[in-house]
């Protein structure tokens, strides 16, 4: 059995039809703008917003967020089947940000898309760019790591304790199978984070249970918290290791 898995350093693309109203897509700007140019332009704008919100809050992890600009753009604006109006719609594709400290880039995309937020589903409102300046404030819905309990229903679970996100994604993939839906679960993992033993356990679990609806994405920016990642986390080494586990790997 082949399970699709991507090891990404810039961006990747797939196009799937949306199963419900509210299709997300690019505003190309001009009819001659290529897909690649549109991705790059949007990623730059998301990066600017990420830097601004981290500067306004005086905290956060802007560099990791910047390294995900292209990946998040492709997923949230193009590849994922979901609706900003109902971010927790039962059959929509899901995104698990295992390297949760990079969440400003997702908040930036959510603001550009007007994703509905709020603790009370009956009183949700669109997230705005003005909201981004409240990052990490005590009463803000924008926590320093993904946290749906604060009123950001795009996420299914809190992440940020490194190594746990892929296990969450595997659980969501199992739930999708039990629900008999075709929703996909994308999980973004840091290359430094991949040293966590729980990541390997989750990779084994996904393979053992044939969860072809779970797509791990390794963000190979080649840096950890304080220095470059080790040789074990270099993209070529990771590809070899993942292929040895039985995964089909696409390195971009």
pLDDT above 60: residue 28: no
How far apart CA 176 and CA 107 sit, in angstroms, is 25
Q: What tokens appear for 109 in the block?
A: 């995309």
Q: Which helix (H) or strand (E) holds 235?
A: helix 235-244
pLDDT grade for 20, boundaries at 50, 70 and 90 = very low
CA separation (Å) from 203 to 170, 178, 216? 9, 20, 9
Reported as a single tens digit per residue, the pLDDT across 45-86 is 999 999 999 999 898 888 899 999 999 999 999 999 999 999
How far apart CA 237 and CA 47 sit, in angstroms, is 29
Least confident of 4-8, 98-102, 214-218: 4-8
Report domain extents, the chain. 4-17+34-251
CATH for 4-17+34-251 is 3.40.50.970
């Amino acid at each position: 059995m082949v399970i699709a898995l991507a090891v990404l350093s810039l961006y990747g693309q797939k196009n799937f039809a949306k199963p419900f109203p509210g299709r997300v897509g690019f505003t190309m700007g001009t009819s001659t703008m290529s897909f690649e140019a549109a991705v790059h332009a949007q990623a730059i704008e998301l990066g600017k917003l990420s830097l601004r919100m981290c500067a306004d809050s005086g905290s956060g992890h802007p560099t990791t967020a910047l390294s995900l600009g292209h990946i998040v753009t492709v997923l949230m604006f193009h590849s994922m089947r979901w609706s900003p109006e109902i971010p927790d719609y039962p059959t929509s594709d899901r995104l698990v940000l295992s390297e949760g400290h990079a969440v400003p880039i997702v908040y930036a995309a959510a603001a550009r898309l007007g994703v509905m937020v709020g603790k009370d589903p009956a009183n949700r409102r669109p997230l705005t760019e003005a909201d981004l300046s409240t990052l990490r404030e005590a009463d803000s819905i924008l926590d320093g790591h993904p946290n749906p309990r604060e009123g950001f229903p795009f996420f299914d679970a809190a992440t940020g304790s490194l190594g746990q996100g892929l296990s969450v994604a595997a659980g969501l993939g199992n739930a999708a199978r039990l629900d008999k839906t075709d929703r996909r679960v994308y999980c973004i993992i840091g290359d430094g984070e991949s040293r966590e033993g729980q990541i390997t356990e989750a990779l084994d679990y996904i393979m053992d249970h044939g969860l072809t609806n779970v797509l791990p994405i390794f963000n190979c920016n080649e840096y950890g918290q304080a220095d470059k990642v080790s040789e074990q986390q270099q993209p070529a080494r990771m590809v070899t290791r993942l292929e040895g586990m039985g995964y089909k790997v696409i390195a971009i």
